[in-house]
Each structure stands twice: as structure tokens, then as C-alpha cells.
Amino acid sequence: MQKIRTAMLGTGFMGIVHTDAIRRLGNVEVAAVAGSSDSKAKAFADQLYIDRSTGDWESLLKDPSIDAVHICTPNALHAPMAKIAIANGKHVLCEKPLTMTSGEAKELLDAAEARGIVHATNHNLRYYPVVQHVRQMVASGELGEILAVQGTYSQDWLLYDTDYNWRIEAEHNGKLRAMGDIGSHWMDMIQHLTALPITSVCGELTTFHKTRKKPKGSVQTFSGKTLSPDDYEAIPIDTDDFGAVLLHLGDRARGSFTVSQISAGNKNSFRFEIYGTKSGISWNQERPDELWIGHRNSPNQVIVKDPSLLIGGAAGFADLPGGHSEGYDDSHKQLFKRFYGRIANRSNPIDYPTFADGLRGMLLLEAVAESSAKRGWVDVNL
């Protein structure tokens, strides 16, 4: 069987995660990598045993031997790269947030649809098996009517003013940093699970470190924690370290969540709670195989992932038996499996987040930014 040939764009933390997950699929080859320079691309290719590397992503996107691309670069490059990839008929899987503006996201969605290519936005966190179990519980009415949702996505890797990464700079990241980087996951998740659209937001974004000390070399996501702070330059910062949002969902559900990259001790703590008229659930990404189920009139439960006990289609997202953990890397594999399944066979369902979800995410991020600037509620028509 001929393998699908894919190109990796970006040589950072996500480039490594994507490359590993793609290789576990079996039917896809990471044929080339493009980086911001020949030397960075070569170092990545050497580390991950990729045959071809280049600093010239544009030429790679025009290469007829490449079928698909993964865009894992700083956010400002997503739209220009995706545009050229689509124009050259490549299938595109892009990191979130999809673009810098909703206008760009709409343009990409329209172009991808017109060209008939397969497109995805990497909201991988949907695909923990237990999370899919929650989706099935909601769909089958086990929770009753959804009344309230709450939670957080909290990290600590940008706590100190010496912590640095491209995401800090609006020019590369966009104006919304914690909200764009991890709030985008939270809002995508809650809508995916409840099937309720977010209709109004009231948010506040805060930058605690108005100046950060930028190391004079480049810093990989999460790795700044181990740098020694001897060679920095001070630069002004206007992207958010923290954000809080009140939400309306659907006709009458209500909710709230926070995002933070300065919460000591929270490494990658994505938590959500969903409460319905019958029961509630609570999940934390740092303990991904466990699900708390709350009852009013009987003892609460904690269930542990076991494909034989997951309901509906949720078992299809677990590749290992009960007691064998499935985590962050696996969530990517599950999404990529479906993306490439669709490329291989267009009669497969679109059961992964597309550019339409990426566009919805951008509209929500813009609404949160507007709300924070005007200190009031903003309606969203998704």
C-alpha cells in the first residue's frame, strides 16, 4: 500500500509531538520538514530521522510529491502557509488557534472547501477516551438538560518574567496569548461535549508581566524553565497571562472558565465540570483516565478508562485495554487517524475538528477580546 506523504512545517514542541503521532499511524510517512532556517530544519530532521529538510517552506508546499501538511509554526504563519498549501492541493492539518483573525479563518475555510481538500484544526484534547465517554453521556441524556459548565486551563510555564517563548509576542502569536493558546481548547471542548454553542461572553484579560526578559537565543515551548537567566533583554508585553470569562451557552445554560499561564504547580491542568438536571461530571487532563460523576441521591463515582465500559462510540477512541493509560500523545494519534482516514477514503465521516471549528474559535476569541476591551458582554453568532 502506498503511504500518504506528509510534510511537517515547524520544528518546535508541537512539530515533535505531531511527527511522533503521525508515525504511529503506519500509513503516513513524514517525508520532509521545513523550518525557519535550513539549519533548524536539518537539526530537527537529524533528531527525528526525516530524510529531507529545508528552510524554504514555500517550495516544499509546491512539491507535487507531498500530499498533506501539518502546520505547527507560530500562529502568524498559519494563514500564509495554509493558503499556499491549499492552492497547491495539499490536505492541511493546522495547529490552533487557526489564524490571527476570523477573516483569515473564513478565507481558509472557503478556499479549502472550494478546492475539495481535507482540512483540520488540531483540537486534539477532544480525543481522550474518557472525554468521548462524557460526550456520549451528554448525548444520551444521562446528565439531563445541561445547566452549568465551569473550569480552567491553567499552566505555570510562564510564571516568571524570565520565562519566554514566541507566544509572548503578539506579532508571532496574535494579541490573545493564554486565551488563544489554551482558552481556545477550553471553549472548543465545552461546545463539542455539550453540543451547545457559546452565544455570549463577558471576559477580562490580564497581563501581569508588562515587561519580560527575553533570552538572547530561541526558547522551545515549556523548556524556558531550565534556562539560567544571565543573558536577557527587557521587552514590553501586551499578551495576556491570565483571563476569566463568563459564558452563555445555547438557550439557557451558563458557565465560566479561567485560563492562566502563571498558576504555580499547574503544569497542563485542563479541567471542566458539566452539570445537568440529573447528574454532573468533572475531568482533569492531568489525570486523563479518570472521570468523576456526581449524583444528587446516590454515591458519587470515579470511573477509570476501560474500553469495554465506555459507552456509544467512545471505545473507538481507546486503543489500549483498561488500566493502560492513554494520554496527550494518544489524543493526537486519534485525531490524525481520522484526518488521514478521510484523505484515504472520502466516504469516511468528518469526525475531527475542521477549519469551520477553527473559524468558530477565532470568532469566540475576538468576542472575548472585544468584551475585555469594553468591559462588558458581547454576543456571538456562530
Least Cβ distance, residue 185 to ligand SOE (angstroms): 6
Least Cβ distance, residue 222 to ligand SOE (angstroms): 7
Question: Near ligand SOE by CB under 6 A, which window of 127-135, 177-185, 207-215, 298-306?
Answer: 177-185
Least Cβ distance, residue 177 to ligand SOE (angstroms): 9
| Shorter beta-carbon distance to ligand SOE: residue 270 or 275 | 270
Q: According to the 3-state scheme, what is the secondary structure of the chain?
A: CCCEEEEEECCCHHHHHHHHHHHCCCCEEEEEEECCCHHHHHHHHHHHCCCEEECCHHHHHHCCCCCEEEECCCHHHHHHHHHHHHHCCCEEEECCCCCCCHHHHHHHHHHHHHHCCCEEECCHHHHCHHHHHHHHHHHCCCCCCEEEEEEEEECCCCCCCCCCCHHHCHHHHCCCCHHHHHHHHHHHHHHHHHCCCEEEEEEEEECCCCEEEEECCCCCCCHHHHCCCCCEEEEECCCCCEEEEEEEECCCEEEEEEEECCCCCCCCEEEEEEEECCEEEEEECCCCCEEEEEECCCCCEEEECCCCCCCHHHHHHCCCCCCCCCCHHHHHHHHHHHHHHHHHCCCCCCCCCCHHHHHHHHHHHHHHHHHHHHCCCEECCC
| Shorter beta-carbon distance to ligand SOE: residue 88 or 221 | 221
Q: How many residues belong to the site for ligand SOE (CB under 6 A)?
A: 7
d(C-alpha 133, C-alpha 316), whole Å: 10
| Shorter beta-carbon distance to ligand SOE: residue 158 or 202 | 158
- 334 lies in the site for ligand SOE, by CB under 6 A: no
Options 181, 188, 289, 326; binder of ligand SOE; rule CB under 6 A: 181
Least Cβ distance, residue 252 to ligand SOE (angstroms): 30
| Shorter beta-carbon distance to ligand SOE: residue 73 or 155 | 155
Options 155, 191, 266, 334; binder of ligand SOE; rule CB under 6 A: 155
Question: Near ligand SOE by CB under 6 A, which window of 129-137, 179-187, 228-236, 300-308?
Answer: 179-187
Least Cβ distance, residue 13 to ligand SOE (angstroms): 6
Report the residue number whose CB is nearest to ligand SOE. Answer: 181
| Shorter beta-carbon distance to ligand SOE: residue 258 or 279 | 258
- 268 lies in the site for ligand SOE, by CB under 6 A: yes
- Hey, which residues between 98 and 137 contact ligand SOE (CB under 6 A)? none
Options 182, 196, 237, 318; binder of ligand SOE; rule CB under 6 A: 182
- 284 lies in the site for ligand SOE, by CB under 6 A: no
Residue type, 363: L
- 221 lies in the site for ligand SOE, by CB under 6 A: yes
Contact 100, 76 (CB under 8 A): yes
- 281 lies in the site for ligand SOE, by CB under 6 A: no
| Shorter beta-carbon distance to ligand SOE: residue 9 or 182 | 182
Least Cβ distance, residue 8 to ligand SOE (angstroms): 16
Tell me whether the omega of the peptide bond preceding residue 97 falls within 30 degrees of 0, making it cis: yes
Binding site for ligand SOE (CB under 6 A): 13, 155, 181-182, 185, 221, 268
